[in-house]
Amino acid sequence: SQQGEEDPQALSIQEGENATMNCSYKTSINNLQWYRQNSGRGLVHLILIRSNEREKHSGRLRVTLDTSKKSSSLLITASRAADTASYFCATAPYGNKLVFGAGTILRVKS
Amino acid sequence: DAGVTQSPTHLIKTRGQQVTLRCSPKSGHDTVSWYQQALGQGPQFIFQYYEEEERQRGNFPDRFSGHQFPNYSSELNVNALLLGDSALYLCASSFGGQGGRETQYFGPGTRLLVL
């Protein structure tokens, strides 16, 4: 079963624009993580935000977490062609296993 | 600092065969988790190994089994392969049995095709 659901399923933008992806989840969480995957290869960890945090930044990435709405958003500013990838949110609601959503496919056109 | 490594990168098997996938965790890590990712889907948790024991298991049949060695590397075995087992198999490492409660580091994956 999927805990996180990303929205939109796919996003296409021009280089330099901002990209926003949303994630909703169902149960209470300890933290929420965002991962990137290029062309069906391994996942790269982007950022982890804990349940007592509301916003976190890492370079061009900004993540927000609203535990009252059980939702998170990932903002990529000034996007580049190299940001083209699939983005997944993941939580660990049941012990130590990560539960992923189906992901958002981001395409950045140059 | 070596990251997570997996072997082989690609594998083709036929239905009914058995397969073994291998994973070496990131240096300093002692916990290995395995995930299956079907095309167009997010990864699904198979199981986690810590201190050479299976600590948690996802909703996968007994055909999926694993092992962790004293050097923390791990194997995933799948018996009686089905067409539906075709997927990218990902290994993730972490420290101290934390698993999803902390950042996990993923390997490049093994792409398995079952014909």
Q: What is the DSSP string of B88-102?
A: EEEEEEESTT-GGGS
What distance in Å separates the CA atoms of residue B26 and residue A53, rounded to the nearest whole number? 28
Please state, rounded to an integer, the average pLDDT across all residues of chain B. Answer: 94
Quick one: pLDDT band at residue A1, thresholds 50, 70, 90?
very low
Residue with tokens 């996180």: A4
Interval A41-50 mean pLDDT = 93
Q: Min CA distance, B63 vs chain A (Å)?
A: 19
Count residue pairs from A and B with Cβ separation < 8 A: 77
How do residues A72-107 score in pLDDT, each as one tens digit?
999 999 999 999 999 999 998 777 789 998 999 999
How far apart, in whole angstroms, are the C-alpha atoms of residue B56 and residue B48?
Answer: 5
- Give the pLDDT of residue B101: 73
Q: Does B22 touch chain A (CB under 8 A)?
A: no
Of A48, A95, A101, the CB nearest to B42: A101
Query: Residue A92 has what pLDDT?
Result: 85
Give the one of A88, A97, A102 whose C-beta lies nearest to B100's C-beta: A97
Which residues of chain B register pLDDT less than 50? none
CB contact under 8 A, A96 and B55: yes
Please report which confidence band the pLDDT of residue A3 belongs to, taking 50, 70 and 90 as the band edges. low
What does the pLDDT look like over B54-64, one tens digit per residue? 999 999 999 99
Residue B6's pLDDT is what?
97
What residue type is A96 in one-letter code?
N
CB pair distance less than 8 Å for A88 and B58: no
Task: List beta partners, residue A74.
Answer: A21, A63
- Cα separation, B44 vs B61, in Å, equals 13
The answer to whether A102 contacts B55, with C-beta atoms less than 8 Å apart, is no
Mean pLDDT across the stretch A8-18? Answer: 96
- Chain A residue with the nearest C-alpha to that of B98: A96
Chain A: nearest CA to B110, how far in angstroms? Answer: 9
Low-confidence winner among A12-21, A47-56, A94-103, B13-22 (lowest mean pLDDT): A94-103
In this prediction, residue A49 carries a pLDDT of 95
pLDDT at B1: 64
| Percent of chain A's residues with pLDDT above 90 | 77
Are the CB atoms for B22 and B6 separated by under 8 Å?
yes
Kindly state the DSSP code that residue B80 receives in the 8-state scheme: S
Q: Is B84 helix (H, G, I), strand (E, B) or coil?
A: helix
Strands A43-50 and A31-37: antiparallel
